[in-house]
Chains A and B, each alone.
Chain A
């Protein structure tokens, strides 16, 4: 009987525990007091630093400073990228969420369509400093054109070409390629003895989509027409996808094994000198973690088809993080104050400096010099030649279906199947049909 008694006690204890645990966590701190002196804001921060703990240690002193200035307490929760979108979904449907939230800037138009966020119309925008405070390219990725932004940029990033200096020297290449045909030529020189010219993340949806988007832009193409309808099968898009996959299929400057990569293996291949070039957003910190010294690689703008990079011949998408205020927030005024604080010149310099990102605040860019060559290149790209991803509500679906198409084509290329314009078009056409849902 002993066992039974023990298990009965355990069950009872569990029930008590379950009841006790109900008090475990509260959802939101929005107490709704009109007086901002005693206001508490809840802030969901995205993960930017090396670990979530790093984020807390970067943010907490700033939040203390904000409290000192305004009397407003900010409770921060750093949320990993695996959960952030689902948590925002939960907050949107239930109305129980934080006051202020960080979002990936490509989500802006989708989240804007839900109506969950406070629109930054004239007066709201003015309270956080107005449009002129922010970098133009970054403001381009805050929601659909013609509507007040759903969010404002806080951290920005761009793509650059990373190249292995020693491998370039050994292959006799004097300077990084400025056009794609140069990249292929250099890639061929670098490809021998198990090493390859370029490393790509062939099974990664975001990496694929960002790269083909830029290639298509450089050819004057677009994945959506002005009415927001998908135009995936235009000749430019087909050519862009084919060019990207052909780095593996016909140019053979990409290791066929890269077709399976989607856990940042291309980054570590580059760090170990198995590939001479890499297209990445601010790879510096990650390369360091993978054991590559900062002096071992150079950073250059991403190549273009021809000419020089400019806003009409872009070489990067605008990557980064935006900050939004929930419409359901009971402390909108305080929330806007907080957004204004986090995007102020001094905070922007400080926070972006900590995270190795680019301040999307014009005055912050002029006030702080670039810390290294990588930063110089990225800042220049962002200011002059980066364009926003399509600002349509179905942006995430677009990324998934087209990214998957490219992933499938890489799989074909890796197994030696030819990737013709017709195959590419068929994949893109099926992707486009899936957008109808």
Chain B
């Protein structure tokens, strides 16, 4: 990661000093636009958000938000108090979110990777399949979630029709949007929306694997399954490292899917954290409390990401 590019051939038309400045400054110049945009849209609002978490920014103060009184750790005390209603609900919802994220990310990644590997070789209809697999990604979220909500209806939904009437797997129709199944409904919709992205990334990653690696192993007598295990999967490690992290953060913070599916009140088994933060912030207009929740989640995600990056980078370096 830290090897500098050596440039042995000096260019005649620029002076040595100028060149040294350019050489040292160039990467920063390349980063500048990204840095400025990140500062404007992410960092400053984020710091703003962290400040708000120490403020009592309730509906009584939002009009004159600069004058909102400080709350000290009050907001945090409220949201971490697991014996209180808000804290215990948040803890429950945190556990739900973790379970939801692990399942949804794992399966999205699995579906995407399997699909990408299976469509690596060309065969008839491959182009059509690739487009089909990307279709869920192209449909507007709002309509996609609504259509899944239709499919999960108790009386008239396709899912119950299929499971109960056609295949006869369940003895009676099930509720999908309330009770325990609501968790799985959320997971299924999340997978459906996200696996095309995993597919896309892995497919692009596969293009970078040189063909002669396969040729060499084929000459050594490796079968296709062995090739997938020994060549394809290890070569995808760099892409996977980012992909899984992307999916994880996306899914953990996903707000649109649960919100369109359940509205401002998700059933308890599918009550993810983003809905809590939304309720505190945009329904109750208590931005201090919502920010405190967000900051806690931020700290959690930072920790997870740090551990994940350390773990995966070591594995990559060892490999």
Contact = CB atoms under 8 A, between A and B. Distances in A.
A258 to B, nearest CB: 9
Contacts of A86: 282
A393 B58 CA distance: 11
B214 to A, nearest CB: 27
Nearest to A255: B155
Contacts of A262: 263
Contacts of B146: 263
Contact of B286 (A93, A95, A430, A437): A437
A410 B146 CA distance: 21
B315 interface: no
B284 A437 contact: yes
A434 B60 contact: no
Interface in A61-115: 85-86, 89, 92-93, 95, 110, 113-115
State the main secondary structure of chain A at its contact with B.
helix
Interface stretch (A159-167, A308-316, A370-378, A396-404): A396-404
Interface residues of A, number: 39
Given A93-B65, A437-B78, A411 B59 contact: no
Interface in A416-437: 430, 433-434, 436-437
Nearest to A412: B179
Contact of A400 (B64, B149, B179, B265): B265
A408 interface: yes
Nearest to B284: A397
Interface in B83-121: 84-86, 89
Interface string A404-415: 100110110011
A415 B63 contact: no
Contact of A436 (B60, B86, B154, B176): B86
Contacts of A436: 78, 84-86
Nearest to A257: B154
Interface in B183-198: none
Q: Is the interface of B mostly helix, strand, loop or mixed?
A: loop
B285 interface: yes
B175 interface: yes
A249 B98 CA distance: 33
A437 B289 contact: yes
B144 to A, nearest CB: 15
A205 B265 CA distance: 8
A92 B65 CA distance: 10
B253 interface: no
B153 interface: yes
Which 10 pairs from chain A and chain B are nearest by CB?
A: A433-B85, A411-B178, A257-B154, A404-B265, A257-B155, A397-B284, A260-B177, A434-B85, A114-B63, A114-B59
Interface of B: 59-60, 62-65, 78, 84-86, 89, 146, 149, 152-155, 173, 175-179, 263-265, 267-268, 279-280, 282-286, 289
Interface of A: 85-86, 89, 92-93, 95, 110, 113-116, 203, 205, 255-257, 259-260, 262-263, 265, 393-394, 396-397, 400, 403-404, 407-408, 410-411, 414-415, 430, 433-434, 436-437
Given A257-B155, A410-B178, 12 more contacts: A89-B285, A114-B60, A116-B63, A203-B177, A205-B265, A259-B178, A400-B265, A400-B283, A403-B265, A407-B267, A411-B175, A437-B78
